[in-house]
Structures are given as C-alpha cells and as structure tokens.
Structure 1
Amino acid sequence: RKIPRYTGGALLVLVFYYMLYTVGVIGIFGYEHGRHHAFPALEVVRAMEYPYLLLEQAGLFMIIVWDTLALVGSGFIYYVTALGSSQFLGLFDYKRLVWFLFPVIFFLSLYPENMDETRQFLEYAYHYGWIPFFGLPVFYYLCALIFRKGEDGR
C-alpha cells in the first residue's frame, strides 16, 4: 500500500523539478531561442552567474538532478522496450534482447544534434512509421505461411 503512495510522491517531485527547468528555460532564453538547443536546461546552467559561492553551486545541483532524471528515464524506457519486445516476439528471456536493442536506442538518442533535427526525425517517423506497423504483421503472416506454422502446424 505504501509503494503507490511513495511512487506518486516521487513523481510529483520529478514533475516539480521538470517544471522548474521548463520555466527557467523559457524565462531566460524565451520560447524561440530555447527550442534551438538540444538540451536547453544545460544551457541555462551554463548561462547562470551568481555573486555568491553558495548560489554558484546551484548549477551543479541542477546538472546532477537533470542527469539523474535522464538516466533513470532512459533506463526505464530501455527496460520496457526490451521486456515488451521479448513478450511480443515470444522470447522467454528479455536480457538477451537488450544487447540487440542497444545499438538502435543508442543511435536514436545521439542522432539529432538539436531540436530542429529532432523535429525532422519525428516528421520522418510520422510519415513512414506506418510501414513497420502494418509491414511486420504481414511479414510474420508470410513467414507463418512459408514455414507452415499456424493452427494446424503446431
């Protein structure tokens, strides 16, 4: 009973920090200039100048929180992708699939250099994303017909 409550509390803390980042980026750079950076929160930390030593360390705290959020979030997405793909493909162990998904996720995370390239990549995914969505079931059906796997071929 405590786990959902703690999870909800942690989620609220993360949303609060994310909203602080967003408000800080829009307040410092503005909407138009902020969308040209791949990681505008890091640019905010670099642009900060405080007169006291204690407040100068706030940038370091923001980078630590941002890196933690990014690593935990990407690790969760990586785990869910591997687990869902292994269940979809009918594999018993998702851990072997992690090694095959690593180059794909690594390429997708490092491919766009800024937000404009990210938007362009999402446009490609929007226009051509239907190919694997409809193509994979057709491919699996054709493989089942070729190898005679079906209701009677078990």
Structure 2
Amino acid sequence: MVNPMKISSVQIFWLMISMEIGMTVLLTITPAIRAAKQDAWISMLIAAVAGILITFIATKLSLLYPNQTLIQFSQTILGKWLGKAIVVPYFVMWYSVMGIILRQSSDFIQIVLFRKTPLWAVVLLALILMIYATYQGGIEGIGRCSELLGPFIVLMITAVLVLCYHNMHWTRILPVYQDSGWFTIFKGAVSPISFLGESVMMTMLVAFMSKPKDGLSRAMWGVGLSCLLLLLSTLAAILTFGNLASRMWYPFFDMARYVSVMDFIQNIDAVVVIVWLLSVFIKLSLYMFIASYGTAQWLGMKDWRKPIWFISPIVFVLALLPANIDVASMDYPTKFWIPYILPINIVGIPVLLWTVGSIRKKWAK
C-alpha cells in the first residue's frame, strides 16, 4: 500500500500535545491525588519522565524502519506470522479505547451541557464528526487540525491556571512526602503514565513524516510540554482544593468554576469544555486513522478507508456498553488499561521490537 500522505515535524509536535493534554488533565489528577494526596505533583514528575522515555523508545523503534508502520516493521523484525500476531493486542487497544474515550467524552458533554439529550445521540454525533475528519482528511487533515487547534488548547489551559492563582494556598502542599511515602507516590504516577504512554502511537506516525529524523525531538518536546501542563494543573488543583480534590470527578473543571476576577471574568468553565472537546476530537480522529490504516495493512487491503465502515459500528456499540460513567472512567482504566495495555502494548512490545530490531540491524551491517 503506497502512502502519499505526509505530515511535518511541527504537526507531530502539535499532534502529541493535542492528543495527550485534554483527557490527561481531566482524568488523571483525581486518581493521582487519591493515591499520593498532596504529593501527587511528585507523582506527575515521575509520570513525566516515564512518558518521555516511552516516547523515546517508540520513536527510536520506528526510526529503525522509518518508511514502515508498526504493522509492517513488526513483520520485518520477527517474520510474517509472528510479526502479524504480535500486533493483535494493538487492535484490541485501538478499538476498545476509541469506544471508551467516546463514552467518557459523551458522558462529560451530557453532564455539563445536554442533560436531557439521549446518550446515544451524543455518541452518534461525535462518531460522525470523527469519521468525517478521518475519511476526508486522513493523517494530513488531522495534522493540520492539530496545528491549528493545538496552540488554542495550550493557551486556554494556561489562561485557566493563571486566573486561578488567587484561589491557591501554598500551605495545602505541606507536608511534602511525610503523609505518603514512595510507594503511594509511585502508585499515584501509574494512571498518568498510562495516559502519557499513548505516545506509543508514534510507531504508526513516523512513517508518514516528511522528515522522519525530526520525529524524535518533536515528539519528545510535545509530550514534555503536555507533562509540564499536567504537572502545573495537578499542583493548582492541590493548592486550590487540597485533598478534597480526590473526591471530585474533574478537579481542573471545578477549579475553573471558582475563577472570578473583579466580578468580570467568570464562568470560564466553558473554556475547559472547549479544550476537552478539541483535544478529544484530535485524539479520536487519530485513533480512528491508525486503527483503519493498520487494519488495512494487516488484512492486505489497498484502500485504507474501507475499514472505517466496519470499525465505526464496533466503536459505537463499545461506547454504549458501559452501564454508567463509573465503568467507563474507573473500571476500564483500573481493570484493563493499566494491568494489560500499559505493560504489554505501551512498554513490553516496543522494547522487545526495538531490542530485536537493533540486533538485526547490527548483524545486517
């Protein structure tokens, strides 16, 4: 399958930020504070190091075969049948996480904006938008969207943090380390690591870059900036609410509700909703493209768009399967994503392929 689509290194930078920051800020702060209490910001530092390291491994692996995607170079490294078998967990990951993200975002939209709208209608509208962006634009269209929307997302998050400053009290971060210890701090880092580790999709994106060698630095800078914003957001939530943030669904969103500058700048929680929607749109479109393109390569199909039409119904059904918001937002991460996807898809398989691929490259020389 010939690939005519190309994206720039700048677009990779904004893709990483747009894809990472929205859901990570809204969904990982609560589990981190619940585990590490006021030391959750230390957990975020650990998660940042791990996230950047995962990005480094995934990109270095792809640079061994810069013109091939994960589906292709896995077969180059391990042989046709073993290479095809080892990527099956990624299809499970891509399909399932699209359904869960779609459900989480739809639940959020319904709770905040459309309480009387049926959930299936919100899910369907979001799915149609995702299909349209992927089918019409492909990775080039998604890259351009991230280049346009990414700066706006970063600006809005920064604005919320600045405007919330007068509600912060530095005593709420004390005592440092004494109430938690390293075990609970590391436990608090697991959830954000699992989200930041989604940069493993670089194994599918480097092949589309016009200058693959620039991918490593741009991807790491993109994830690094996302980590910085996540760290500052976690710190702001702790300084604003203290350990009470562990009982909130979305501390960053609730923090924005308390903003009041001279009784003029108020109700900026709508800004958080916009940031969430933009980030989720980029993330879902990116996952849809990767799943469709990867499925087409795995099945030997010439048109990468065709799988969209059978992937979409699967995603729609998966989005409606969770009984409530607890199953989608709590059970899926704790019972499936963290114990299986994180060690296998995000860490284990990339490290294995990178090690074997590097050895084969040296032998070939």
Q: TM-score range by the shorter chain?
A: 0.5 to 0.7
Count of residues in Structure 1 that have an aligned counterpart in Structure 2:
122
1:120 aligns with 2:331: yes
CA positional deviation for 1:70: 1.0
Separation in 2, partners of 1:110, 1:13: 33
Query: 1:109, CA displacement in angstroms?
Result: 3.6
1:101 to 277, 293, 311: 311
The answer to whether structure 1 residue 74 and structure 2 residue 289 are counterparts is no
Question: SS at the partner of 2:307?
Answer: helix
Distance change >3 Å, CA 99–CA 66, structure 1 → 2: same
Go from structure 1 to structure 2 and tell me whether the alpha carbon gap of 1:46 and 1:125 turns closer, same or farther (over 3 Å shift).
Answer: closer
> Aligned residue for 2:302?
92
2:9 pairs with one of 4, 21, 25 = 4
* Cα-to-partner distance string for 1:28-53 (whole Å, 9 max, x where unaligned): 4422x13xx3xx26752674352545
Partner of 2:92: none
Q: Is the counterpart of residue 30 in structure 1 residue 241 in structure 2?
A: no
Is the 2:260–2:266 contact (alpha carbons within 8 Å) kept by the matching residues of 1?
yes
Gaps of 5+ in 2: 1-7, 14-217, 342-365
Query: Structure 1 CA distance, aligned partners of 2:263 and 2:301?
Result: 54
Q: Does 1:58 align with 2:268?
A: yes
- AA aligned to 1:30 is A
Identify which range, 44-53 or 85-94, moves more after superposition: 44-53
Say which one has the larger Rg: 1
> Structure 1 residues 13-22 or 84-93, which shifts more?
13-22
Q: Which moved more, 1:95-104 or 1:50-59?
A: 50-59
TM-score for both structures, normalised by structure 2 = 0.27
Question: Is contact 2:296–2:304 with CA below 8 Å preserved after alignment?
Answer: yes
Residues 259, 268 of structure 2: 8 Å contact kept: no
Greater displacement, 86-95 / 111-120: 111-120
Q: Is contact 1:21–1:41 with CA below 8 Å preserved after alignment?
A: no
Seen in structure 2, the aligned counterparts of structure 1 residues 41 and 106 have a Cα distance that, compared at 3 Å, is farther
Q: State whether residues 42 and 63 of structure 1, in contact with CA within 8 Å, keep that contact through their aligned partners in structure 2.
A: no
Alpha-carbon offset, residue 124 of structure 1: 6.4
**CA distance in structure 2 between the partners assigned to 1:58 and 1:120 by the alignment:** 30
Deviation per residue, 1:55-88 (Å, 9 max, x gap): 3253222221121111101111111111111111
Aligned amino acid, residue 71 of structure 1: F
Q: Secondary structure at the match of 1:93?
A: coil
Segments of structure 1 that go 5 or more residues without pairing to the other structure are 130-154
C-alpha deviation, 1:14, in angstroms: 4.1
User: Letter of the aligned partner of 1:4 in structure 2?
Assistant: S
* Greater relative CO (CA pairs within 8 A, separation 6+): 2
Q: Are 1:24 and 1:44, in contact at CA under 8 Å, matched by a contact in 2?
A: no
Q: Would the aligned equivalents of 2:256 and 2:267 in 1 still touch at CA under 8 Å?
A: no
The residue identity in structure 2 corresponding to 1:114 is: I
Residue identity in the other structure for 1:73: K
Distance 1:54 1:76, change over 3 A: farther
